[in-house]
């Protein structure tokens, strides 16, 4: 467990170093996206978080290398971009578990209601 945590911490530091090498405007955009996704996503699994951050870094590194404007990367609605981006990482998201729990509860209730209506 400790070795895994140390590896994840090393991986996170590498991610932060990658972001620091980006131009200032890209760093600002990534920091804002990271903050939003952390609050919205509730990703609790370290491996899921690191995969998401690596993909975010890749996206902005490629954008910076190609001179792609930030608006061309995230579009006109950064909230929609962040939420669409997060949907690619459902593992470990508390909201995914809660959505499943809600759906199951409603299905059970609807099934019980259907049974009660037929009796």
pLDDT per position as a tens digit, 6-33: 998 999 999 999 999 999 999 999 999 9
pLDDT for 36: 87
Residue 70 placed within a domain: yes
Report the alpha-carbon distance of residue 80 to residue 83 in Å, rounded: 5
Domain that holds residue 47: 2-93
78 pLDDT tier (thresholds 50, 70, 90)? very high
Residue 84 placed within a domain: yes
Q: What CATH number should be reported for the domain holding residue 78?
A: 1.10.1900.10
- Measured in Å, how far apart are the chain's first and last C-alpha atoms? 54
Residue 114 placed within a domain: no
The CA dihedral of 54, 57, 58, 64, to the nearest 10 degrees, is -170
Residue 116 placed within a domain: no
86 vs 26, more confident = 26
Residue 47 placed within a domain: yes
pLDDT for 16: 96
Report the alpha-carbon distance of residue 11 to residue 106 in Å, rounded: 40
Residue 57 placed within a domain: yes
Query: For the chain, how many structural domains are there in total?
Result: 1
96 vs 34, more confident = 34
pLDDT for 3: 86
pLDDT for 56: 95
Residue 64 placed within a domain: yes
DSSP for residue 75 = -
Per-residue H/E/C for 11-76: HHHHHHHHHHCCCHHHHHHHHHHHHHHHHHHCECCHHHHHHHHHHHHHHHHHHHHHCCCHHHHHCC
Residue 107 placed within a domain: no
Q: Which residues of 84-94 are buried (b: 16+ CB within 10 A; e: fewer)?
A: ebbeebeebbe
pLDDT for 86: 84
For residue range 37-72, list pLDDT tens digits in order: 877 655 667 788 888 899 999 999 999 999 999 999
């Amino acid at each position: 467990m400790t070795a895994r945590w140390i590896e994840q911490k090393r991986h996170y530091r590498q991610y932060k170093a990658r972001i620091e090498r980006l131009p200032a405007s890209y760093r600002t955009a990534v920091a804002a996206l990271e903050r939003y996704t952390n609050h919205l996503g509730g990703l609790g699994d370290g491996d899921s978080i690191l995969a998401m951050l690596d993909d975010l870094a890749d996206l902005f590194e490629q954008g910076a290398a190609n001179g792609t404007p930030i608006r061309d990367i995230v579009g006109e609605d950064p909230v929609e971009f962040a939420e669409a981006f997060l949907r690619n990482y459902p593992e470990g998201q508390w909201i995914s578990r809660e959505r499943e729990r809600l759906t199951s509860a409603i299905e059970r209730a609807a099934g019980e209601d259907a049974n009660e209506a037929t009796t």
